[in-house]
């Protein structure tokens, strides 16, 4: 089943060259944070280029339930009239975050240090994901959590009346955990310190600074040490959301594997905490160039140009790069199937607790299409079959996971026989225009009768 309705089975068929310009939607991570930080400011935050995917819409709905005024002006223009740090009202109903781990985890952090009680739920995928990684550090502030076994949703959080600042070392590479602690620290007096051994996406730190909070980052032997001074008055901002590198990954990777393709994907943020996939593809020999490199809003940005690359080779992807491309391993495994030799991806056990167990979902689906995949708990290897060498013909289970669905649809565009997925419904959570955008480039994607 898709997140919000009946399943949408789809077929992807070997396509002619993909050509044209792919304007992918706004960045999902920055879109969630724009709405949440806007709601925690006093006054009007204006946001343009917001991703209008279901995940972000659910976060917008949640911010309204906490008392913020969230207005859609059309054409990607939104405004948020915030209630200020500590100003969240107790929601009248249950907060349903749908499919979104980022949404629920960041919102838990944002309400945890305000004395209100909130019950959270989500779809079948989200209700299966671990929340203890968030509620453990929130308990240090004084927040109580009552959930299902294994720390799963539905879960009720009782925000604390008199929070104390915390010092917390994040035990796994997770920007969601880091961000939840920082957002909770906003309403605690004094300094909240978060330490991460490996750098993860740094949008929360950057945006908090933009909204006027005092945030410092120090690089030490223990990793990145982030210090936030609590109880700031956040100042509303005007935010232009950059296009999402994680969504750009799909037209880029499709162009690399479909014969004769040449696709331009403009205005993609190349923040080093997000751009690991593109570095990896270039190391594999992909014809992927950065055009018109520039800085926008303090972030490196470029237009990506991807052309069919028949001579890509498998590589060992360094584990220390994992955090900067964690959402891109599914589509990388598809490219790896069309490369020569093995692609080994290590240090990726976080993939097992995403919207689905992404190692397992990709391994099973790739095998169903004639590709050999080995896996351990925290690594996997794809045995490449070279350009044009993937048989296809399989049906893939997508487990309510947008990136699994889009990855297998990319696989079918270059496989010898069509590839089917059981449900493309979840694609709307992050990339609602995926089908039209890919079809406009020349991709043969069809919805099957149910």
Verify binding: residue 326, ligand S3P, rule CB under 6 A: yes
Residue selected from 283, 299, 350, 444 as contacting ligand S3P according to rule CB under 6 A: 350
Verify binding: residue 327, ligand S3P, rule CB under 6 A: yes
Nearer to ligand S3P by Cβ, of 45 and 246: the residue is: 246
Residue 64 CB, nearest distance to ligand S3P (Å)? Answer: 21
Verify binding: residue 131, ligand S3P, rule CB under 6 A: no
Verify binding: residue 328, ligand S3P, rule CB under 6 A: no
Interatomic CA distance for residues 64 and 95, integer angstroms: 10
Verify binding: residue 34, ligand S3P, rule CB under 6 A: no
375: Cα separation from own chain's centroid: 23
158: part of which helix (H) or strand (E)?
Answer: strand 152-158
Residue 102 CB, nearest distance to ligand S3P (Å)? Answer: 4
Residue 309 CB, nearest distance to ligand S3P (Å)? Answer: 26
End-to-end CA distance of the chain: give it in Å, rounded.
11
Residue 302 CB, nearest distance to ligand S3P (Å)? Answer: 21
Letters for 213-232 (x = contact with ligand S3P by CB under 6 A, - = none) are --------------------
Residues annotated as part of the active site: 327
Nearer to ligand S3P by Cβ, of 381 and 429: the residue is: 429
Residue 285 CB, nearest distance to ligand S3P (Å)? Answer: 27
Alpha helices in 306-429 (DSSP H): 329-337, 358-368, 402-412
Nearer to ligand S3P by Cβ, of 61 and 352: the residue is: 352
> Binding residues for ligand S3P, how many (CB under 6 A)?
10
**Both tokens of residue 16?**
């002619």
| CA 293-299-300 angle, 5° bins | 20
Interatomic CA distance for residues 346 and 324, integer angstroms: 13
- In terms of DSSP bridges, do strands 152-158 and 167-170 run parallel, antiparallel, or are they unpaired? unpaired
Verify binding: residue 31, ligand S3P, rule CB under 6 A: no
The closest of 74, 62, 146 to 111, measured between CA atoms, is 62
Interatomic CA distance for residues 284 and 16, integer angstroms: 23
Nearer to ligand S3P by Cβ, of 102 and 114: the residue is: 102
Residue 370 CB, nearest distance to ligand S3P (Å)? Answer: 29
**Both tokens of residue 7?**
């399943």
Verify binding: residue 29, ligand S3P, rule CB under 6 A: yes
Nearer to ligand S3P by Cβ, of 176 and 369: the residue is: 176
Query: For residues 149-208, which are near ligand S3P according to CB under 6 A?
Result: 174-176, 179, 201
Nearer to ligand S3P by Cβ, of 183 and 326: the residue is: 326
Residue selected from 34, 102, 227, 280 as contacting ligand S3P according to rule CB under 6 A: 102
Interatomic CA distance for residues 433 and 53, integer angstroms: 9
**Both tokens of residue 305?**
């140009």
Residue 390 CB, nearest distance to ligand S3P (Å)? Answer: 26
Positions that interact with ligand S3P (CB under 6 A): 29, 102, 174-176, 179, 201, 326-327, 350
């Amino acid at each position: 089943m898709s997140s919000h309705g009946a399943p949408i089975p789809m077929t992807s068929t070997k396509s002619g060259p993909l050509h044209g310009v792919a304007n992918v939607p706004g960045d999902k991570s920055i879109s969630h944070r724009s709405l949440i930080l806007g709601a925690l400011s006093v006054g009007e935050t204006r946001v343009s280029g917001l991703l209008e995917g279901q995940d972000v819409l659910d976060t917008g709905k949640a911010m309204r339930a906490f008392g913020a005024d969230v207005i859609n002006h059309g054409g990607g223009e939104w405004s948020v009239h915030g209630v200020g740090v500590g100003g969240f009202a107790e929601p009248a109903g249950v907060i349903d975050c749908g499919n979104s781990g980022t949404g629920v985890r960041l919102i838990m952090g944002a309400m945890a240090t305000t004395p209100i009680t909130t019950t959270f739920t989500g779809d079948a995928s989200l209700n299966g994901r671990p929340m203890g990684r968030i509620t453990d550090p929130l308990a240090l502030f004084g927040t109580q959590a009552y959930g299902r076994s294994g720390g799963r949703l539905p879960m009720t959080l009782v925000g604390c009346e008199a929070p104390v600042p915390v010092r917390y070392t994040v035990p796994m590479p997770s920007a969601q955990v880091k961000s939840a602690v920082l957002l909770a620290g906003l309403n605690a007096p004094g300094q909240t310190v978060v330490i991460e051994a490996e750098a993860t996406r740094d949008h929360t730190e950057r945006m908090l600074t933009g909204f006027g909070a005092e945030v410092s980052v120090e690089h030490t032997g223990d990793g990145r040490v982030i210090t936030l001074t609590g109880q700031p008055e956040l100042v509303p901002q005007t935010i232009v959301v950059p296009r999402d590198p994680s969504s750009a990954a799909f037209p880029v990777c499709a162009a690399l594997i479909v014969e004769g393709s040449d696709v331009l994907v403009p205005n993609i943020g190349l923040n080093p905490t997000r751009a690991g996939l593109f570095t990896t593809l270039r190391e594999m020999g992909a014809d992927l160039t950065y055009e018109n490199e520039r800085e926008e809003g303090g972030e490196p940005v470029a237009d990506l140009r991807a052309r069919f690359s028949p001579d890509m080779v498998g590589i060992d992807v360094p584990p220390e790069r994992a955090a900067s491309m964690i959402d891109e391993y599914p589509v990388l495994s598809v490219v790896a199937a069309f490369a020569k030799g093995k692609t080994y991806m290590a240090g990726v056990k976080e993939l097992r607790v995403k919207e689905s167990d992404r190692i397992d979902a990709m391994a099973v689906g790739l095998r169903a299409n004639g590709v050999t995949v080995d896996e351990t708990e925290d690594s996997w290897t794809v045995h490449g079959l070279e350009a044009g060498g993937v048989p296809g013909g399989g049906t893939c289970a997508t487990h309510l996971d947008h990136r699994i669905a889009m990855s297998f649809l990319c696989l079918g565009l270059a496989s010898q026989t069509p590839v089917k997925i059981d449900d493309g419904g979840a694609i709307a959570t992050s990339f609602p225009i995926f089908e039209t955008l890919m079809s406009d480039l020349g991709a043969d994607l069809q919805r099957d009768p149910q």
